[in-house]
Amino acid sequence: MRARLPHLARPLYESLPGLYILCGLLALAASYRERSMLASLALGIPGLVALLAGVVVYLRRRGYRRLRDRYTQPDALADEARRRIARGS
């Protein structure tokens, strides 16, 4: 039997893309105000990565939910994924 991984609470899970985007924007703003080039890069690059990660996670969730809503049996997608994992393909 596989050990179950801990899950995040739904409100926290749903707010993660917004949190990533907010942190990315704050880091980019701090990078812009920083006078040292090294410190600016140290803030700007992770800020850009966090911003992009937040946008990607948001868009992936939205796409999955739209796809899931098109099916009459929404859980069929998850069941098919479980079957594929069990088969090893």
In a domain, 8, yes or no: no
In a domain, 10, yes or no: no
In a domain, 75, yes or no: yes
In a domain, 76, yes or no: yes
- Name 75's Cβ contacts closer than 8 Å, sequence gap at least 6: none
pLDDT digits (tens, 9 = 90+) for 24-63: 999 999 999 999 999 999 999 999 999 999 999 999 998 8
Domain that holds residue 28: 15-87
**pLDDT, mean of residues 9-36:** 92
In a domain, 27, yes or no: yes
**pLDDT, mean of residues 3-7:** 77
In a domain, 6, yes or no: no
In a domain, 1, yes or no: no
In a domain, 9, yes or no: no
Alpha helices in the chain (DSSP H): 10-33, 37-69, 75-87
Total of domains in the chain? 1
Cβ distance 62 to 18 under 8 Å? no
pLDDT digits (tens, 9 = 90+) for 62-75: 888 888 777 766 67
